[in-house]
Amino acid sequence: MSEKLFSEFPPVSTEDWKNQILKDLKGADFEKKLVWETGEGFKVQPFYRKEDLADLEWSVQNLPGTFPYTRSTRKLTNDWNIRQDIDSPDLPTAKKLAMESVSNGVDSIGFVIENSTSGRRGIPLKRKEDLEFLLAELPLHESTLHFVAEENSPLIHEWLPKIKPLIGGLGYDPLRILARHGRSGGHGIQALKPILEEYAATWPNFRGLTVHSSTFRDSGSEIVEELAFTLALGSEYLFLLSEAGLKPETVNSQMILQFVVGSDYFLEIAKFRAARTLWSRIFRTYSSDSGEASLPFITAETAKYNYGVYDVYNNMLRATTEAMAAAIGGAEVVSVLPFDHLLQPADSFSLRIARNVQLLMRHESHLGKVVDPASGSYYLEKLTDSIANESWKIFCEIEAEGGFLASLQSGKIQERIANSRKRKEENYATRKEISLGTTQYPNAQDKISSGKGNKFFFPGSLESKPGEWTCAAIPEYFVGDAIEKIRFRTEEWEKKNGRSPKILLLPVGDLKMKKARAIFSLNFLGCGGFNVIDPGSYETAEDAKEGIRKEKPDALVFCSSDDEVLKWVQEILSGSDGKKGPISLVAGLPKDSKSALEALGVQGFLHIKSNLLDTLTDLQKRLGIQ
């Protein structure tokens, strides 16, 4: 058959596509309706065509496994190592969980060792024999080994049995320790260099240095900032270690670039592709080698900042999307945090669920069979280019400030992260962005039974050392933190008073509006942990009054239409003592009757533009919850 498939259909130009879209919009603004302005500083169009890649032919034509590795560092497959981190505070339990993991499909074991930097309790190792016990019987010839020991990394290096070669990584990142604590505590190039030299000479496949993007992303930075800061940190290590006498090729062979992968699915896929491209550009300034010595080793860990401590099964869904993005993006090792990671050290069940996410991706979805499955997608190719360009701008600004260390010590990096964090806090407080189970659709029955989880773990400070580096510390950030604190206070009040604060909804009047506003109020107030009672409907004012007498609520919410609500408030509150009775709120913002409602004793309004954080905080104060 010589005739081309669909040759009878004429080509459609971009102009024709756009004209059809404008027609379908019926006068609505194209930019406002369909163009997405990301938090990363660039716009995403509703559709892309081949002509959008006219200046990106080099990327599309670049083969996997060839410099600059945009498509992949691997030539034939996209398979990755499944990593599982063990953080049990009980040594025998940690060993048992590790053995269980490697027996059930895990390629790489990570041990979280007790430290004061990572925000995780970790495994207590008091002596060399503890580490030897932990590693004994592990099939290290079949699986790779990683550590999360932070400031204790040099001690782990010293204790590691030097009998047979290992594959994996120590996880040491001295400048991360500086950024988290505000002081380096003696950790720096002088501690890192001999470790890298020893591994390069004896264990070339065991990498001593890991550059952690979580230092930035789990503190509130945007994706392009995370990428720029991580690459700038990697470049700083290349510079400092080269100055100390190590070859750039040796440093690169001893480095892992570990990225956090968040829930912005397509942006995250593009981020990994952009990371390989930009690192190749950076490495070329240090070395002319564009062969194996220039390969970046990029790994991924699912984000911690967007995990919630309530309705934790939502975290399984977040982790699944994130792990898929990392795999499709070409990460070489992927670690999925357990769904209840913030509440307790990982147990057998949570570890099983976490690793099964990846096992399903590998064995049932076959994501490892095709190298760079994102290649050729106009959308993803353009996203890769946009993220690379925006990140490169920030990277160049940091270099102009004297490099990563100088920018960190001057506070410029902290300022950028603080600004991004502030935007995110505002977006989540106003529900412009949603955290399911925390700022929207909460599980009202969910309670925090213990305050001993990783989320509530406050590690000790780092001991100061003479001549150390110092800077303003970069704190961790959780998107649900402020709302979760409100809910914690409600639960503490409930424990002290033997009951939870009761809020009664009063759905009255127009059927459509009272139902819609009752559902809105139920979700809104549920985020604060209040006992919100939805009676379904009240047909008369007397029915509503009887409901109030029966339930004896601490607060009321009138759920009705803007046109009717004033009448219902007048009838239901008539004869009541506004000072001694329950707090009265109105769902919606009826501008024409707002003043009259306030005169009748209404103390607040719940509507789509309400600031969730401010409204719930104010309500708690009115209820005497401090």
Which pLDDT tens digit goes with each residue over 106-151? 999 999 999 999 988 899 999 999 999 999 999 998 999 999 999 9
pLDDT for res 125: 96
β strands within 383-536, DSSP E: 502-507, 531-533
Asked whether residue 442 is domain-assigned, the answer is no
Q: Write down the pLDDT at residue 193.
A: 98
Q: Angle CA(89)–CA(90)–CA(91) in degrees, nearest 5?
A: 115
Across the chain, mean pLDDT equals 93
- The count of structural domains within the chain is 2
Residue 410 shares a structural domain with residue 488: no
**Residue (of 479, 501, 478, 477) closest to 489 by Cα position:** 501
Indicate whether 400 and 501 sit together in one domain.
Answer: no
Q: Is 88 exposed, middle or buried (0-12, 13-18, 19+ CB in 10 A)?
A: buried
Angle at 278 between CA 242 and CA 261, to 5 degrees: 105
508 and 384 in one domain?
Answer: no
302 three-state secondary structure: strand
In a domain, 51, yes or no: no
> Side chain identity at 118, as an amino acid letter?
S
Residue where a domain stops, chosen among 381, 399, 416: 416
| Domain assignment present for 320 | yes
Strand partners, 146: 110, 169
Do 249 and 330 share a domain, yes or no?
yes
**First vs last Cα of the chain: how many Å apart?**
78
Helix (H, G, I), strand (E, B) or coil at 335: strand
Q: Give the whole-angstrom CA distance, residue 334 versus residue 368.
A: 12
Q: 452 near 541, Cβ under 8 Å? A: no
Instruction: Read off φ and ψ for residue 157, nearest 5 degrees.
Output: -60, -45
Q: Helix 348-363 and helix 314-329: axis angle, to 10°?
A: 40
Q: Helix or strand or coil: residue 604?
A: strand
Using DSSP's 3-state secondary structure scheme, residue 100 falls into: helix
User: Residue 317 falls within a domain, yes or no?
Assistant: yes
**Whole-number Å distance between alpha carbons of 476 and 304:** 9
Reading the block at residue 352, the tokens are 């099983």
Could you give the CA distance from residue 195 to residue 192 in angstroms, rounded to a whole number? 5
- Angle, alpha carbons 267-383-417 (nearest 5°): 55
Token output for 403: 């490099």
Asked if 359 and 496 sit in the same domain, the reply is no
Together in a domain, 411 and 499: no
Q: Say if residue 379 is in the same domain as residue 504.
A: no
- Do 172 and 261 fall into the same domain? yes
Q: Is residue 36 part of a domain?
A: no
Q: Is residue 40 part of a domain?
A: no
Q: Are residues 408 and 504 in the same domain?
A: no
| Regions of the chain short of the pLDDT cut 50 | none
pTM: 0.94
Does 412 share its domain with 554? no
Q: How many residues does the chain have?
A: 626
* Whole-number Å distance between alpha carbons of 308 and 438: 7
pLDDT value for 5 = 66
By CB atoms closer than 10 A (0-12, 13-18, 19+), residue 164 is exposed
Query: In the Cβ-directed half-sphere of 50, how many Cα atoms lie within 13 Å?
Result: 3
Alpha carbons 469 and 459: distance in angstroms, whole number: 20
Q: How far apart are CA 433 and CA 221, in angstroms?
A: 15
* Nearest to 234, CA basis, from 190, 197, 285: 285
CA distance 375 to 273: 10
- Torsion region of 203: left, alpha or beta (phi above 0 gives left; psi -120 to 50 gives alpha): beta
Query: Alpha-carbon distance 253 to 124, whole Å?
Result: 30
What is the structure's pLDDT at 40?
A: 84
Structure-token match 């690169």, residue found: 252
CA distance 176 to 125: 22
CATH number, position 521: 3.40.50.280
Q: Is the peptide bond before 442 cis (omega within 30 degrees of 0)?
A: no
Residues 6+ positions from 568 with CB-CB distance below 8 Å: 506, 508, 509, 541, 544, 558, 560
Beta-sheet strands, E only, within 384-535: 502-507, 531-533
Closest among 266, 314, 271, 324 to 48, alpha carbons compared: 266
- Residue 132 sits in a domain whose CATH number is 3.20.20.240
Nearest-angstrom CA–CA distance, 32 and 246 = 52
Range of the domain at 392: 57-365+373-416
Question: Are 411 and 494 within one domain?
Answer: no
Strand 36-37 and strand 43-44: pairing? antiparallel
- State the burial class of residue 76 (Cβ atoms within 10 Å of its Cβ: 0-12, 13-18, 19+): exposed
The pLDDT of residue 60: 74
The pLDDT, as a whole number, for residue 120 is: 87
From residue 231, alpha-carbon distances to 71, 80, 246, 272, 472 in Å are 18, 22, 19, 12, 20
Same domain? For 385 and 517 the reply is no
Which DSSP symbol is given to 462? Answer: P
Angle at 337 (CA atoms; ends 333, 339), nearest 5 degrees = 150
Region for residue 469 given its phi and psi (left: phi exceeds 0; alpha: psi -120 to 50; beta: otherwise) = beta
Tell me, yes or no, whether 48 lies in a domain: no
What pairing do the DSSP bridges indicate for beta strands 531-533 and 555-559?
A: unpaired
600 vs 584: CA distance, rounded Å: 9
Are 345 and 87 spatial neighbours (Cβ–Cβ below 8 Å)?
A: yes
Instruction: Report the C-alpha gap between 285 and 266 in whole angstroms.
Output: 30
Task: Report whether 113 contacts 148 (CB < 8 A).
Answer: yes
Largest CA distance in the chain: 88
Domain assignment present for 223: yes
